[in-house]
């Protein structure tokens, strides 16, 4: 899509982005990638362009991804029915192996290829590599769904220092070598916390936290931990938004400075959120200035 803008307008846009570029230069930005932005091919291209641009202006970008729909698709192909309990997939040994194959193989390497095609320098790793994500069984009824016990960030730090964009698939392991499927939002919050990231961006299929879930114009642009507790109590944060906001709070409590719950359906939403005044979602911080 080409925009009818003059060179002067282009220069103005770049100048406005300068303070944001300076703020993020050399800092770590973790992006949790999922939802429509991961399924829609056009949106996927925009996300990859945003990540490569951020990388090229000196931001240390870490991409963390899940892939629930693709796991379901593969299970259907092999004639295995998916069963969910409270939104979590019941995962037996075979399902865990298929999740590993889909996440650490097809999806992970596909994203690396896209980033490379856009001019980035990317390296795909899974939570098994270097025991990046150590886990244990969350609930026997769920099988091999993991609760994170430890994050070892050395593999990610090594890749960042060598100038790569680490692309992390969210599977974990225990000391016996069992493989666990890990919730991508949870994994991203733990990884961002361990890296002491400047920001975590959680891409979703909604505008952010809405005061009225049916009214996109009721977006709450900024909350702190105190606000979040009140919004939980008032029932404004409800349903599928509860685990997402809980992961945001987890990240802040683990040392991340800012977390953005962002609408991944908007083209170039990462750039809008990080390099403009406008923003594209809800920002969660530890404490707002009173």
What are the Cα distances from residue 91, in Å, to 6, 237, 275? 55, 28, 40
Tens digits of residue pLDDT in 172-208: 999 999 999 999 999 999 999 999 999 999 998 888 9
- Which residues lie below 8 Å from residue 159, measured CB to CB, with a gap of 6+? 123, 125, 165, 166
* pLDDT beneath 70, residues of the chain: 1-4, 290
What are the Cα distances from residue 136, in Å, to 139, 146, 178, 180, 242? 9, 5, 9, 8, 23
Instruction: With respect to residue 69, please indicate whether it lies within any of the assigned structural domains.
Output: yes
Domain that holds residue 169: 25-285
Q: How far apart are CA 50 and CA 122, in angstroms?
A: 14
Instruction: With respect to residue 17, please indicate whether it lies within any of the assigned structural domains.
Output: no
Instruction: With respect to residue 19, please indicate whether it lies within any of the assigned structural domains.
Output: no
Instruction: With respect to residue 3, please indicate whether it lies within any of the assigned structural domains.
Output: no
Instruction: With respect to residue 150, please indicate whether it lies within any of the assigned structural domains.
Output: yes
pLDDT score, position 290: 63
CATH code for position 263:
3.40.1160.10
Structural domain count, the chain: 1
Instruction: With respect to residue 89, please indicate whether it lies within any of the assigned structural domains.
Output: yes
pLDDT score, position 79: 93
What are the tokens at 215?
Answer: 């009214």
Instruction: With respect to residue 8, please indicate whether it lies within any of the assigned structural domains.
Output: no
Instruction: With respect to residue 58, please indicate whether it lies within any of the assigned structural domains.
Output: yes
pLDDT score, position 287: 87
């Amino acid at each position: 899509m080409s925009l009818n803008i003059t060179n002067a307008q282009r220069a103005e846009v770049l100048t406005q982005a300068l303070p944001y570029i300076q703020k993020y230069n050399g800092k770590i930005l973790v992006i949790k990638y999922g939802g429509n932005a991961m399924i829609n091919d056009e949106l996927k291209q925009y996300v990859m362009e945003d990540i490569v641009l951020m990388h090229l202006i000196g931001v240390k970008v870490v991409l963390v991804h899940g892939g629930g729909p693709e796991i379901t698709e593969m299970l259907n192909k092999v004639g295995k029915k998916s069963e969910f309990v409270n939104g979590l997939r019941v995962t037996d040994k075979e399902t865990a192996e298929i999740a590993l194959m889909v996440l650490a193989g097809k999806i992970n390497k596909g994203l690396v290829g896209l980033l490379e095609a856009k001019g980035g320098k990317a390296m795909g790793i899974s939570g098994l590599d270097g025991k990046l994500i150590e886990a244990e069984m969350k609930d026997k009824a769920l099988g091999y769904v993991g609760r994170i016990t430890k994050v070892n960030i050395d593999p990610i730090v090594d890749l960042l220092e060598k100038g790569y964009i680490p692309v992390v698939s969210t599977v974990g392991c225990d000391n016996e070598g069992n493989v666990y499927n890990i919730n991508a939002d949870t994994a991203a919050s733990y990884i961002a916390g361990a890296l002491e990231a400047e920001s975590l961006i959680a891409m979703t299929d909604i505008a952010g936290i809405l005061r009225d879930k049916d009214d996109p114009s009721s977006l709450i642009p900024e909350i702190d931990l105190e606000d979040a507790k009140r919004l939980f109590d008032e029932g404004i944060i409800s349903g599928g938004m509860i685990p997402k906001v809980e992961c945001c709070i987890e990240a802040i409590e683990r040392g991340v400075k800012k977390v953005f719950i962002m609408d991944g359906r908007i083209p170039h939403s990462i750039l809008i959120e990080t390099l403009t005044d406008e923003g594209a979602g809800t920002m969660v911080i530890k404490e707002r200035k009173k």
